[in-house]
């Protein structure tokens, strides 16, 4: 069976089939699933083709498991992942490798990981581990082999390569800045979808408060959806409920990611709360949009370029040198002060 046949059976264009099989964005989840189902039933196994003889003969796969909470079906459009992928592609080109994309919906984890293992054509895999748990990463590694690096997550007990953010350090930097700026009533806006990164950020932030003789009050802790496409209404409802008895907001709020922080800025403005005059706001990730909002967002810079380079280099080292010793790398963060914070 050819791609033209799959396109005819699925009732879509050949280009849509190509996007579905490569895992790239640009089609709906329903279309992608329909194409993949037809391909599986027909035993179709796509073979990577070079557009010219000058293109690399070796390739890496960027493997993503999407869900409704953190890594969306349109993950390529999410600012953090968009930047990360850009740097991965650059590093692959500089090392003489092409980059293929594979996307799996978490609802079909078992079935689709088997399919990927059966038709795996690349020399190694960079697994985006942001939203994955240890048992899921273990199963993926067992099926796909040793030439694999997990990016944006780290579990110390798993014998695999990991490249992750130093989340504890970053959140500690945020908390330390607010404390040194004289804030004594500090709030925390968490994601209501929990991942390892967010748990580490909570740990680092609370450590900074403890080191400054402060604690995080439960009444100053809020939880909202963590993605940019989420509505601001849930956060507005939380804050309105808090303010109803005549209480004042904390003088500063730390948000577990920039997506939440940007929604917080907009929500506070709608509630008539001035930032940073009444409330300072700090985010985490330093996505490009953090400089577009008003006021510009104080945040924690994640070295996405460095993480991408390390991930590519580690998997290529495994491929070319057969290195069996695993490495776990946590890349340090930088505090970026902009105009969304001020001294208390």
CATH 3.40.50.2300 placement within the chain: 14-36+55-165+305-331, 167-302
CATH class of this structure's domain 167-302: alpha beta
Under a CB-based contact definition with an 8 Å cutoff, are residues 66 and 129 in contact?
Answer: no
User: Considering only 112-126, 141-155, 189-203, 303-317, which range has the smallest mean pLDDT?
Assistant: 112-126
User: Considering only 83-92, 96-105, 147-156, 250-259, which range has the smallest mean pLDDT?
Assistant: 96-105
Q: What is the DSSP string of 307-323?
A: HHHHHHHHHHHHHHH--
Does the domain formed by 14-36+55-165+305-331 have CATH 3.40.50.2300? Answer: yes
330 CB-side CA count, 13 A: 14
Q: Sorting pLDDT into bands at 50, 70 and 90, what band is 283?
A: very high
* CA gap 219, 243 in Å, rounded: 11
Q: What is the reported pLDDT for 50?
A: 41
* CA gap 124, 60 in Å, rounded: 5
Tell me which residue of 48, 22, 91, 104 sits closest to 315, measured CA to CA.
Answer: 91
Mean pLDDT of 263-287: 96
Handedness of CA 17, 19, 20, 25 (dihedral sign): negative
Name the DSSP letter for residue 324.
Answer: -
Span 93-132, pLDDT tens digits:
999 999 998 888 888 888 888 888 887 778 999 999 999 9
What are the C-alpha distances in Å from 245 to residues 181, 207, 223, 232, 239?
A: 28, 30, 20, 22, 11
Tell me which residue of 196, 183, 205, 270 sits closest to 232, measured CA to CA.
Answer: 270
* CA gap 339, 276 in Å, rounded: 7
219 pLDDT higher than 70: yes
């Amino acid at each position: 069976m050819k791609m033209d046949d799959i396109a005819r059976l699925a009732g879509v264009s050949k280009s849509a089939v190509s996007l579905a099989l490569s895992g790239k964005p640009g089609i709906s989840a329903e279309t992608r699933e329909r194409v993949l189902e037809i391909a599986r039933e027909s035993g179709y196994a796509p073979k990577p083709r070079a557009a010219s003889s000058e293109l690399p003969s070796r390739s890496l796969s960027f493997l993503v498991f999407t869900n409704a909470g953190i890594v969306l079906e349109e993950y390529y459009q999410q600012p953090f992942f968009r930047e990360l992928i850009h740097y991965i592609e650059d590093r692959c080109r500089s090392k003489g490798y092409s980059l293929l994309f594979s996307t799996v919906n978490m609802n079909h984890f078992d079935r689709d990981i088997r399919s990927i293992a059966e038709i795996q054509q690349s020399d190694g895999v960079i697994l985006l581990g942001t939203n994955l748990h240890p048992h899921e990463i273990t199963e993926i590694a067992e099926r796909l082999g040793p030439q694999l690096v997990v990016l944006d997550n780290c579990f110390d007990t798993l014998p695999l390569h990991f490249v992750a953010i130093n989340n504890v350090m970053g959140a500690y930097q945020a908390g330390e800045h607010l404390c040194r700026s004289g804030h004594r009533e500090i709030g925390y806006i968490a994601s209501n979808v929990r991942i390892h990164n967010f748990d580490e950020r909570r740990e680092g932030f609370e450590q900074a408060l403890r080191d400054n003789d402060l604690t995080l009050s439960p009444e100053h802790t809020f939880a909202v959806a963590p993605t940019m496409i989420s509505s601001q209404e849930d956060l507005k409802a939380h804050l309105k409920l808090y303010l109803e008895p005549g209480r004042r907001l904390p003088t500063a709020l730390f948000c577990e990611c920039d997506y939440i922080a940007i929604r917080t800025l907009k929500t506070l403005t709608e509630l008539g709360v001035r930032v940073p005059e009444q409330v300072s706001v700090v985010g985490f990730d330093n996505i490009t949009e953090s400089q577009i909002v008003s006021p510009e967002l104080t945040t924690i810079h994640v070295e996405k370029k460095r993480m991408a380079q390390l991930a590519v280099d580690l998997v290529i080292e495994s491929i070319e040198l057969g290195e069996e010793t695993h490495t776990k790398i946590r890349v340090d963060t930088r505090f970026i002060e902009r105009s969304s914070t001020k001294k208390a």
